[in-house]
Amino acid sequence: MKWFLILWAGPILLLGSWYGLSYNDMSFGIFMLTRQAHDLVFQVYSQVLGIPAEDIPPLVARAIVVDSFVVFAIIGFRRRKKIAAWWRDRQASSEALASEESLSRAP
């Protein structure tokens, strides 16, 4: 499961870092981090996909959100027994606390 999360988060962090640095033209002397490379990459994607370059970043962001929901659903499904046990323990402790408070308030 650890590798699953690493393989999911790694590309997202890499893409987000590249996008943020190249959008703000923080190149540190590396061509791929320049605004010129940023615009060139989105021009190429625009030509390949046949959509305006301005529409690509929101589409990528939506895809990341949907993928994240899928990943967390998979994690939740794999750990459903632990989550259910945690939820039952939490409910039982809150009910016990409520009954203790009601007993302490009784005249």
Count of the separate structural domains present in the chain: 1
The whole-model pTM stands at: 0.68
Q: Residue 87: which pLDDT band, with cuts at 50, 70 and 90?
A: confident
User: What is the span of the domain harbouring residue 44?
Assistant: 2-105
The answer to whether the CB of 34 falls within 8 A of the CB of 46 is no
Per-residue pLDDT reduced to its tens digit, 22-49 = 888 888 888 888 999 999 999 999 999 9
Q: Residue 100: which pLDDT band, with cuts at 50, 70 and 90?
A: low
76: left (phi over 0), alpha (psi -120 to 50) or beta: alpha
Q: What is the pLDDT of residue 44?
A: 95
Q: Residue 1: which pLDDT band, with cuts at 50, 70 and 90?
A: confident
Per-residue pLDDT reduced to its tens digit, 43-80 = 999 999 999 999 999 999 999 999 999 999 998 888 88
Q: What is the pLDDT of residue 41?
A: 93
User: Residues with Cβ < 8 Å from 78, sequence gap 6 or more?
Assistant: 1
Residue 107 has pLDDT above 70, yes or no: no
Residue 94 has pLDDT above 70, yes or no: yes
